[in-house]
Structure formats: structure tokens, C-alpha cells
Amino acid sequence: MRILVVEDEAKVASFIKRGLEEEHYAVDVASDGEEGVDMVDVYEYDLAILDIMLPKRDGLSVLSHIRKKNNSIPVILLTAKDMLEDKVKGLDMGADDYLTKPFAFEELLARIRALLRRGKPEESLKLVLDDLILDPVTHNVTRAGQEIPLTAKEYALLEYFMRNPERVLTRTMISEHVWNIKFDTYTNVIDVYISYLRNKIDKGHDKKLLHTVRGVGYMIKG
């Protein structure tokens, strides 16, 4: 899943990004409100984390822009403020949750997990393709009942494929969603990771799930 973090404090942004990537999320960071709005307009996100006190355009303005686009992605607001009226204003404008700085990273993770599974039975969260199963809650991956150990990037890559079955994903699409917007699409890193992933999920199975669409990209299908 891909998360947008809009935070002008470099240390805080780096801390959140590093922690989320360790949990297998793809993370983009914007350092001001205008950049955050631009990124929301161009890229698709599964969740956004917005600091309220931002340069150029504050977090509530970014939140308003997201909601005016009829974008229903979950939004968590971060702020050093602890005034009740600030919390109420943010929630009334469409925020899904609110976290006051300083915060424990484990609490942020718990709130993210809760929002991403909101309204969905836990079993329905599992991604299933043929005999390949990915559980976004536990990060467990199995094929034919056998657990498949994956690195963080391999897991993120597989999750992106399984959320887009039978859809050709170009290298640009993969780099934007699984890596980040500054990734160099002209390197062969994506092809290398595709090879790693194919070796783990298809090797030893008669039916191959991960396919190359020559000259275009890759596709997973059952």
C-alpha cells in the first residue's frame, strides 16, 4: 500500500518514512502543503498523513482539497497542538483520525492498520489469486499452503500486483507505487526484483502466476 506523508520537519518525516517502509508500505514525502496537493493530484494513495502546521499551504487546506476531489482515502492529522477545537475542526473537515506530537510510532501504526481495514471483515482483507494468498494484516504470504519469506520490497511488489490482477503494470507504474516518485526507471532494479519474486512464488509450481508482457511491463494472473 502507498502512503503520502506531508510533514515539513525533516527529522519527523524521515522517522515516519523509515518506520513505515520497514512495515512494507511504499511512502512518498512532501515537505509543504503545495507539494502535498500536487502529489495527491498526480498519484493514487491508500492513506495520507498530514501535519497541520505546514508552509505554503496548511494541512487542513490539503485535507479540504483531498475531500473536494471526492477522494475517500483515510487521512490522519499530525500536529503539536493539543487544543480541543483544533481536533474538532480537523475531524469536521473530514479527517479520519488525529494524533498529537510527540507520539509513539506503534500507535501511529495501529491507527493506520485500523483505518485501512475499517468496514472490512478481516478475512476479506486477504488477497487471493489461485493458491497464492497475501495477508496485509500479518504480512504473511503462502502458496499452496507453504509460507513464502519475502523482503520488504518483494512484499510491496507482490501486494501491488495482487491488488491489480490481470492488469499490465509498466515499470513506471511499479516504480511510482512500490519505490517512490524519484526512482530512476531506467535502471534494471525492477527487473531484478521481478526475477526474485518470480523465483519465490512460481518456482516449483506448474502454473505460473507472474508474466512478462514484452515491451510493456508485467502482469499477475491466475
**C-alpha closest to that of 58 among 38, 37, 42:** 37
Domain boundary among 116, 140, 161: 116
Q: Are 46 and 112 contained in the same domain?
A: yes
13-34 pLDDT, tens digit each: 999 999 998 887 888 999 999 9
Q: What is the pLDDT of residues 55-111, one digit of tens each?
A: 999 999 999 999 998 778 999 999 876 677 777 888 899 999 999 888 899 999 999
Residue 177's domain comprises 123-220
Could you tell me what percent of the chain has a pLDDT over 70? 92
Q: Which of 135, 91, 94, 143 is nearest to 117 (CA)?
A: 135
Query: Do 102 and 142 belong to one domain?
Result: no
**Do residues 109 and 138 both lie within one domain?**
no
Q: How many domains does the chain have?
A: 2
> 60 and 91 share a domain?
yes
Is residue 39's pLDDT more than 60? yes
Domain boundary among 101, 116, 131: 116
Q: Distances in Å between the alpha carbon of 101 and those of 18, 29, 78?
A: 17, 18, 7
Q: How confident is the model at residue 136 (pLDDT cuts 50, 70, 90)?
A: confident
Asked whether the predicted pLDDT for residue 121 surpasses 80, the reply is no
Q: Whole-number mean pLDDT of the chain?
A: 88
Look up the CATH number of the domain holding residue 155. Answer: 1.10.10.10
Instruction: Quote the pTM value.
Output: 0.69
Residues 204, 143, 133: CA angle, nearest 5 degrees: 150
If you average pLDDT over residues 172-195, what whole number do you get? 79
